[in-house]
Structure formats: structure tokens, C-alpha cells
Amino acid sequence: METKQLYLHDSYRKEFEAKIQKVNGNEVTLDQTIFHPLTGGVACDTGCLRRDSVEHSVLRAEINRETKEITHILDDTTDLKPGDIVKGTITWERRYDLMRLHTAAHLIAAVMYRDYDARITGGQVDSDMAKLDFNLPKTERQIFEDAIAKANIEVTKKTPLKIYFLNREEALKIPGVVKLAERMPPDVKELRIVEIPGIDLQADGGPHVNNTGEVGEISLVKIENKGKTQRRVYFTTKLA
């Protein structure tokens, strides 16, 4: 059964209640969740599930792309059974770091495309650092320094993000709405659009901050060459 993805509607929600659908070894599926699974290049949430006064740690969350069922991998599932109501809490510090770095990734990717015609080919946002891969024939540190400086200007603007849903047909008319085609599930009727007005707009399922000011200062960590035209940039963010 498809798990209702509450995190798509509110990145700032920290607690929720849900009904257990299935228990399989250390894995629990719920009817709904705020746990963001490892998907779309963004790391998963951790946290806990409580039934009555008993707390179980959620070590990670995974999504089955076909069934859209989200599995919570727990430290142990003793006494948990289908039909139980549990209260869940995500580790907020980790989530907020993921949100900040994820929005930063969108800013950098948008500037790289706009000013250097460099297309994003992959990436991974973790809670301490993020990396993005670009198709860029030359390796010049200056390019990434410039892109990050420009992304930091967007941070100082404190631009509010807009997150909304469009039906698939309507959404696909927007040029560049799907930056990474392979990441879009083939059968979705509605696409979640994440817009950073004036800078970026794309179909995206991950958690983001409310405005670019929350990203904090982005800094370049390192650049790596990944083949002839592939460049990888690592970056982090720091709140003032």
C-alpha cells in the first residue's frame, strides 16, 4: 500500500501519528509518514517511533519506487504489530541541515546552468555536506567559486520558496522542469514543483527551507574530476 508522504506538504513538520500497516523483521511500514526516505539525491531522516511509552529508533527510511511504500528501518520492532498507532518524531537538526543543503544545491545548479551552460548529472545531499556533478568540459575552480558566490547573493535576498502541485501535463510544459529525467517516477499524475522565484523551478520531492536566507553561507569544499567532462563539487553551509 502506498504510504502517504506528509513531508511533501510540510518540510517543517517534526511529529506525526500513523497506523502500522506491516511489520517485517526490523522494518515497519505506516499508512503515512513525515520521514523522508533516501530518494531524489537527498539523504533520509532518522528519528523515533513511540507506541505508548516504548520508543524505537528509526535508523533510516527507504521508498519502493513502484509501490511508493515507505519502509522505516528500526533498531528493533518488539511488540509492534499491524494496526498499532504510533507517534513519530524526526531528528530535526539533521532534517534542517538536509533542507538547507538541498536548497543550496538548487541555487548552485541553477547558476551553473544559467551562467555556464553546465547541466547537472547527479548529486547527493547529506547532512554535513553535499555534492553535485556537472557536465562541464573544463575544470576551473573559478567557475565553481563564482557559482557559489552568486548562490550566496541569492541567500542574502531571503527569497521565499514556492512549493505547489501541478498536474503532469501542465508541469511538463514548463521548460527544464525536470532536470534529471531518470528521477521522475513514470506514473505520477501530479508533480510537486519547487520554485525559487527568479532563479529556479523544478519538479522535486525533497524537503526545502522556507526562504533562501535560511540556507546560510555556502562554502566550497573541493572539486573533483570525474572523467572527461564530469566535474564534482562538494560544498557545505553555515548559519551565521
Interface positions with Zn ion (CB under 5 A): 204, 206
Contact between 83 and 28 (Cβ < 8 Å): no
In whole angstroms, what is the distance from residue 58 CA to residue 72 CA?
6
In whole angstroms, what is the distance from residue 78 CA to residue 86 CA?
13
- Tell me the closest approach of the beta carbon of residue 206 to Zn ion, in angstroms: 5
- Tell me the closest approach of the beta carbon of residue 125 to Zn ion, in angstroms: 8
Q: Beta-carbon neighbour count of residue 85 at 10 Å?
A: 12
- Tell me the closest approach of the beta carbon of residue 194 to Zn ion, in angstroms: 7
The C-alpha cell 505520477 sits at 188
Q: Which residue number, 35 or 195, has a Cβ lying nearer to Zn ion?
A: 195
Q: Which residue number, 58 or 130, has a Cβ lying nearer to Zn ion?
A: 130
In whole angstroms, what is the distance from residue 177 CA to residue 100 CA?
21
- Tell me the closest approach of the beta carbon of residue 123 to Zn ion, in angstroms: 8
Q: Which residue number, 11 or 77, has a Cβ lying nearer to Zn ion?
A: 11
The C-alpha cell 530518494 sits at 39
Helix (H, G, I), strand (E, B) or coil at 66: coil
- Tell me the closest approach of the beta carbon of residue 84 to Zn ion, in angstroms: 33
Q: Which residue number, 61 or 130, has a Cβ lying nearer to Zn ion?
A: 130
Q: Which residue number, 49 or 201, has a Cβ lying nearer to Zn ion?
A: 201
Contact between 30 and 71 (Cβ < 8 Å): no
